[in-house]
Amino acid sequence: MMVLAIDAGNSRIKWGVADDSGWLRRDALNTADAAQIGEAIKDLPVPRHIVISNVAGNVVRDALTLALAPLNVAPTWVQGRAEQCGVKSGYADPAQLGSDRWAGVIAAWRRFGATGAACIVVNAGTTMTVDALSSDGVFLGGVIVPGLELMRESLTRGTAQLKHAPGVFCYFPDSTADAIMSGAINALAGAIERMRAYMHETGQGAPLIVLSGGAALLIEPRLNAPHELVDNLVLEGLLDIARESI
């Protein structure tokens, strides 16, 4: 079974083609270049199924639809559901949950649910989502915060003296650029740690942190709790969804 999975985010479109043995290729392009997806996959086998998460709006959806039309495969556009792939949604309106978040918690459940531990599912991209998944597969809810670059840019846009410049993380920053970078990373790690505390306080035990996204490698060293780094977690969840639907 050949599957094309596409995760269309606000800044990047991640995609992968997989068969029964696993991923044949994974790559990415800028969201603004959505119309080029057909060119990117032209040398790969024609997929039998296409599954897409799109949180980038109707313009991107239309561009993907047009670019993929020559494949003659009707895409499955993922959206949050009350239940899917063993995960139950606790969202007030399951359909309002972002498709990327839904795919992410499904991937975490499929990979780590058997351990018996609850999970905190983190996708650190343009925004960072921090979602709580119980040990029995219930998505409890989560938070959305600005991602690393949005935090840094907000400071440079909103202040006269703070300029956008490269910085590194350090415990005691002694330059403005390092102070901004360190503050943003600490804020992101703090959001994850607060969710972990909330889950512990509400009887969810000691959850495993499942971390993915472009800023994951910067956040990971700041976490003082058990965690797993998963590359392209949303794509993994999309592949799970595609395989269950067949």
Which residues carry out catalysis? 100
Q: Do residues 49 and 76 lie in contact, with contact meaning Cβ atoms separated by under 8 Å?
A: yes
Query: For residue 57, which amino acid is it?
Result: G
CA–CA distances in Å: residue 196 to residues 54, 59, 131, 134, 192: 28, 36, 10, 12, 6
| Token couple for 88 | 């139950």
Query: For residue 41, which amino acid is it?
Result: I
148, burial (CB in 10 Å: exposed 0-12, middle 13-18, buried 19+)? buried
Q: Do residues 129 and 102 lie in contact, with contact meaning Cβ atoms separated by under 8 Å?
A: no
Give the residue from 3, 144, 137, 160 showing the smallest Cα distance to 75: 3
Give the residue from 41, 40, 68 showing the smallest Cα distance to 52: 68
